[in-house]
Structure 1
């Protein structure tokens, strides 16, 4: 019994020491991951990479996982079930922390690969742009020529529409002038006819006056002759 208890106590002490050492590695690895993430955004959108730091973090995570395996083996050898359950939960928490650190490192690696690929694509595009600058300039000049032709065609269409509107207005004015001319001729003709009638009336009036005066004179002469004969 005493031998069994001594063995259990020694295992518990070894497990506690191993757990404390593992927690120190976890804290060190978490600080390294945070430093790596700060370094990622230290140069704006381009970011920086530290292969040495990434490798050190990977090595520490692997070490933590191996320590968790060793602690799990030791906690299984504990004689007390309550102690086994307690240490099992502690080991599981450390294993979860190691997995979380591994996921953070994997996400960083994916972001870094994406940045490297985008930088490579930009460099290739810039290289092609520099090599094809003459072709692009030709395309640009051709596009400008097409735009100028479209602008000229639109200006011609507007000028044609304006000319048609002016001709239509002139045609309408010409018709109105013709109508006014015809009315003026009608008025002139009417005035000419009225003048002829007035002259005819005036001539008839003068003739009537002559006849009237002649009759009066003739009557006076006849009366005078009759008066002379009666004496």
Structure 2
């Protein structure tokens, strides 16, 4: 006999697969009948699990019943989604049949020229809707491109700011170096002028001393 420990993971896996099936169903990639069969199988497994939980010891029984309650809630939600989908499909089919019957009555009561005009108008409306859809897609693509360009420009701006910061630091260093070189040139020039003056003074003093007559 299957134990609750073995069957519960299978039921939970089936509930997860049903969520995927309903997503495919809403996109038109699955059958409502197949989803209904899987839901019936899940309900049958939950009944068996409930019976097996009642055979567990009291402490384990409450734990399993709590888990089963969550799984039953998932099953009920999935059943609601399937019912809502089936009701929507039935309503759409009924509305389509009513439109076809109404058009058939109108076509029977109208001249062929008027019917052709209505048909042309309907074709023109469909073309306009397709064109509008194309415009919307083009607009969405353009917006996506602008957003992508904006992100790229932000990255470029950050890199430019980084380079500017580096260049600012380098410019400051260059300006300090230029000022230091100017001060050094002034010091060297001043030193040269001072030494030249000193040498000229010494030479002049020596010339004056050489022109004086010796003492008696």
Q: What is the TM-score normalised by the length of structure 1?
A: 0.46
Q: Relative CO higher for 1 or 2, CA cutoff 8 Å, sep ≥ 6? A: 1
Question: Based on CA coordinates, which of the two structures has the bigger radius of gyration?
Answer: 1
Q: What is the TM-score normalised by the length of structure 2?
A: 0.49
